[in-house]
Amino acid sequence: MATSRKALITGGTRGIGQAIAELLRADGHSVKSPDRTELDLALPGSVQAYLQNSTWQPDILINNAGLNKISSLESLPLEDWQAVLNVNLTAPFLLIQAMAGAMKHRRWGRIVNISSCYSIVSRAGRLAYSASKSGLNGLTRTAALELAPHNVLVNAICPGFVETDMTRQNNDAAQIEALRAQVPLGRLAQPDEIAAFVAFLVSDRNTYITGQVIPIDGGFLCQ
């Protein structure tokens, strides 16, 4: 029987985050996933207020919530750039910074940041999204180095194309078919396929993987 841990997952209302929350609960963990009325990740002040009011200290932190605003470089409004950076990069930084201390003290912690294949390659219109996710990869590596002496393991995963609201909002049916055609496995991922690997990374079975940025993309990035 695996040890029951406390896990905090952002963006657990839908998609990949919901699948991760369900799987970790099924694995016997105690999972909290605040919705945006409790914790609005686009507002650093909301993140700081949530942290000040919470005494719950998770063993597992999964920075899953994400935001994409599609726009060309020349027409991207500063407020959209800022919102994407806040949700995808600043909020993970603030949560890791606040929660690492208790993990270090217990000499056990697992942090997974949900990045994207668009942190490694990109497409027109993904300027803020790619910049934020590339930043998240850098945050992952440095945090992993600083926390490794305390047995706190920090990794990022890079999903390819997953069947969620985010994909449906940013792509019409023809565009989704074009994405599918770029995937060697010939299909988009389901959220539970991403969740399965996250559950491994945050488990006691993962004892030696840290500081890695790992694609889960059906072979997309091999091409």
Whether 129 is catalytic = yes
Q: Looking at 20-28, 33-41, 95-103, 104-112, which segment touches ligand NAP (CB under 6 A)?
A: 33-41
Residue closer to ligand NAP by CB (options 19, 147) is 19
Q: What's the count of helices (H) and strands (E) in the chain, helices before strands?
A: 8, 6
> In which residue are the tokens 């003290």 written?
105
Distance, in Å, from the CA atom of 141 to the CA atom of 213, rounded to the nearest integer, reads 8
Check binding of 36 to ligand NAP (CB under 6 A).
yes
Candidates 8, 42, 62, 131; binder of ligand NAP (CB under 6 A) is 42
Distance, in Å, from the CA atom of 41 to the CA atom of 35, rounded to the nearest integer, reads 10
The encoded tokens of residue 215 equal 């694609």
Candidates 90, 155, 167, 210; binder of ligand NAP (CB under 6 A) is 167
At 170 the three-state DSSP class reads: helix
Check binding of 14 to ligand NAP (CB under 6 A).
yes
The encoded tokens of residue 175 equal 């565009």
The encoded tokens of residue 169 equal 């909002």
Residue closer to ligand NAP by CB (options 95, 153) is 95
Candidates 159, 201, 202, 215; binder of ligand NAP (CB under 6 A) is 159
Concatenating the DSSP letter of every residue in 79-133 gives HHHHHHHIIIIIHHHHHHHHHHHHHHHHT-EEEEEE--GGGTS--TTBHHHHHHH
Candidates 96, 100, 161, 198; binder of ligand NAP (CB under 6 A) is 161
The pairing of strands 213-216 and 152-159 is: parallel
Instruction: In angstroms, give the least distance from the CB of 202 to ligand NAP.
Output: 15
Size of the site for ligand NAP (CB under 6 A): 25
Check binding of 136 to ligand NAP (CB under 6 A).
no
Catalytic positions, please? 129
Q: Residues interacting with ligand NAP, by CB under 6 A?
A: 11, 13-17, 35-36, 40-42, 64-67, 87, 114, 116, 159, 161-162, 164-167
